[in-house]
Structure formats: structure tokens, C-alpha cells
């Protein structure tokens, strides 16, 4: 399979050739994927979601890792069951559900946080085979090299952003490791009317819990009160000033990574998505977070 930034030449043929179907199949493209191509497929027995996409080394997406994380998350009851997984293809059960948006996550933040906490605690014991880590500061350094090599339109800003990244790493300090989702956009939470599910494990890997907590906040419009309540619930202890600064540093790093991810995608993606607008949006969000962090540290 080609990298998912380059669509497969015959996705319908790839899907029809999978050894899964009984009777006639109906294949409906799903919108929203920006690192893969998703389809809802129905046959005489069931409905499933088929995700097509190869490795994307420039974004450190390796599909063996996504498959391992998806299977472990399903075994923990956090993500839908995996029906089939081969290189370039992941098939999961279709869950009749509503996809959350940012207001929905804020409204249901207690259940969202509990699901994330379960993922951190319960997935590691169910993982099989090699899996990746997700070190946002290594990723930012690697992205910088990619952007320089590709003569990015943002190249003059990269030195200043690298200095800010180093400051954020110092402020975060030593970390504990959990198995993180690392991409907590609102659309990755599904509500089936009874419970929530967490999907799309492209960027999963061992990481500090502060990264997922920061992403949950920044992607869904949490305020300081929401953040403090989230941290207290997650760590089950009062929030110290030191923890709040470390958290805000990682929250800022998660926003910087999203902005720089988009800069790299401007160079390498062929998907129909406005990456320049997405870069602009996330740079503005990062600068607001950086300003708030300066207030907290008195810098």
C-alpha cells in the first residue's frame, strides 16, 4: 500500500478483495480522514469501517503500531473490535453512534476523561509485539529537519519555534509513561447512546499522560477551571502550581506539534484539506497558550 497521503489507485478493488464478505457489498466513502481513507462497508452479515493507509514515516505513523494499539484498545473495551488487519488495511466493527464535537466533549468531559484514563491504565497489559513511543520534543526536532529540507514557507520561523520547544521541554521536566492516544480530537470520541468509544490510534504510543490531557483541553476549548478539575480528577490529588506549569508546558507543546504537523503536511500531503489554514489556526492557538504559560511562570 502507498502512504496514506497518496490515495490508493483502486480502493474499491482493495476492499472487495478482502476475504471477509458474504453476498453483495456496499461501499460508502467516509469523510474526515486526514492520514487515511475510510469507508463504511456493508454485506449480508454486518457493517464495518475499512481504513486504508500505508506508513507515513514523515509523521512517524507506522501501521503495525496502529494495528497493535487498536487491538489492545478493543481488548480493553475502549475501541471497537478489530475484524481484520493486514499491512495498509484495518477493518473494525461499525458502531452506530454520534461523533462528538468540541462542545460535546466539554459537556461530557467527565466521561471523556474517564475513558482516556482507562486507556492509559488498561491498554499496556493487552499490547502484543513492538509498539512505538511518542516523544513530542523529538518529533518537533525531526519535523524541523523535514521542513528545512523541503524549503517550507515557514522556514524563517523555525529557529524561534525550536527555542520555544526547548524551553517547554525544560519546563515539563521528567515524565511518567502511560500508553497514550496522542490525538484527542473531538471526532475521535463516539457516543453510542450508552457509552463512549475512543477510535483512531494512528499516533498511539508510550508518552506522558500530560500530553493527552493537554490535547483533550486544547482541542476542545477547556478553560483554567476545567483544566484544574481535569488534573485533580486524573491524578486524584490537589493540583499544585508546579504541576499546573508542567501541564501547561505540555499543553503548549501539543499545540506546537499540531501546527508543525500541518506545516509538514503542506509539503507532503495530497489529500484535499486546507493545511495552510490549519497551520494558521494552530499557530494562533499555540501563541495564546505560550502567552498564558509566560503568565504562569512570570517570564
Helices (H), 52-196: 63-75, 102-107, 109-122, 136-149, 158-172
Look up cell 492516544; give the residue.
Answer: 181
CA angle 178, 184, 186 (to 5 degrees): 155
List, for residues 154-208, the tens digit of each pLDDT value: 999 999 999 999 999 999 999 999 999 999 999 999 999 999 999 999 999 999 9
Mean pLDDT across the stretch 132-139? 98
Q: How confident is the model at residue 269 (pLDDT cuts 50, 70, 90)?
A: confident
**Position 149 pLDDT exceeds 60:** yes
How far is 260 from 104, CA to CA, in rounded Å? 27
**Position 4 pLDDT exceeds 60:** no
**Position 9 pLDDT exceeds 80:** no
Mean pLDDT across the stretch 16-31? 93
Record the cell numbers describing residue 173, joined without a space: 521536566
Q: Are strands 196-198 and 189-191 parallel, antiparallel or unpaired?
A: antiparallel
- pTM of the full predicted structure? 0.93
Record the cell numbers describing residue 201, joined without a space: 490510534
Tell me the domains of the chain and their CATH numbers: 11-96 (3.30.200.20), 99-297 (3.90.1200.10)
pLDDT of residue 271: 77
**Position 35 pLDDT exceeds 80:** no
pLDDT of residue 243: 97
Look up cell 456496499; give the residue.
Answer: 26
**Position 33 pLDDT exceeds 80:** no
The proportion of the chain whose per-residue pLDDT surpasses 90, expressed as a percent, equals: 92
**Position 128 pLDDT exceeds 90:** yes
pLDDT of residue 3: 36
pLDDT of residue 32: 67
Look up cell 525550536; give the residue.
Answer: 162
List, for residues 195-235, the tens digit of each pLDDT value: 999 999 999 999 999 999 999 999 999 999 999 999 999 99
Record the cell numbers describing residue 26, joined without a space: 456496499
pLDDT of residue 2: 30
How far is 183 from 167, CA to CA, in rounded Å? 23
pLDDT of residue 36: 80
Mean pLDDT across the stretch 103-116? 97
In the chain, what is the straight-line distance between the N-terminal and C-terminal CA atoms, in Å? 49
Amino acid at each position: 500500500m502507498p502512504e496514506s497521503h497518496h490515495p490508493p489507485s483502486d480502493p474499491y478493488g482493495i476492499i472487495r478483495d478482502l476475504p471477509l464478505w458474504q453476498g453483495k457489498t456496499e461501499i460508502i466513502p467516509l469523510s474526515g480522514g486526514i492520514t487515511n481513507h475510510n469507508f463504511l462497508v456493508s454485506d449480508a452479515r454486518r457493517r464495518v469501517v475499512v481504513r486504508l493507509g500505508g506508513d507515513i514515516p514523515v509523521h512517524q505513523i507506522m501501521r503495525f503500531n496502529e494495528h497493535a494499539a487498536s487491538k489492545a484498545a478493543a481488548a480493553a473495551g475502549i475501541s471497537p473490535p478489530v475484524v481484520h488487519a493486514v499491512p495498509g488495511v484495518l477493518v473494525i466493527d461499525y458502531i452506530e453512534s454520534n461523533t462528538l464535537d468540541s462542545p460535546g466533549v466539554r459537556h461530557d468531559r467527565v466521561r471523556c476523561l474517564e475513558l482516556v484514563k482507562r486507556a492509559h491504565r488498561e491498554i499496556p497489559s493487552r499490547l502484543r509485539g513492538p509498539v512505538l513511543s511518542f516523544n513530542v520534543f523529538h518529533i518537533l526536532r525531526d519535523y524541523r529537519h523535514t521542513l528545512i529540507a523541503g524549503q517550507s514557507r515557514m522556514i524563517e520561523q523555525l529557529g524561534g519555534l525550536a527555542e520555544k520547544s526547548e524551553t517547554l521541554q525544560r519546563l515539563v521536566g521528567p515524565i511518567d509513561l502511560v500508553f497514550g492516544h496522542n490525538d484527542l480530537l473531538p471526532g475521535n470520541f463516539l457516543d453510542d447512546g450508552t457509552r463512549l468509544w475512543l477510535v483512531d490510534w494512528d499516533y498511539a504510543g508510550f508518552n506522558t499522560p500530560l500530553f493527552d490531557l493537554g490535547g483533550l483541553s486544547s482541542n476542545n476549548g477547556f478553560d483554567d477551571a476545567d483544566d484544574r478539575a481535569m488534573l485533580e480528577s486524573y491524578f486524584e490529588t490537589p493540583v499544585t502550581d508546579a504541576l499546573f506549569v508542567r501541564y501547561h508546558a505540555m499543553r503548549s507543546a501539543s499545540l506546537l506539534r499540531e501546527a508543525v504537523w500541518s506545516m509538514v503536511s503542506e509539503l507532503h500531503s495530497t489529500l484535499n484539506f486546507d493545511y495552510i489554514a490549519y497551520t494558521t489556526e494552530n499557530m494562533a492557538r499555540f501563541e495564546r497558550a505560550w502567552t498564558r504559560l509566560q503568565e504562569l511562570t512570570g517570564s
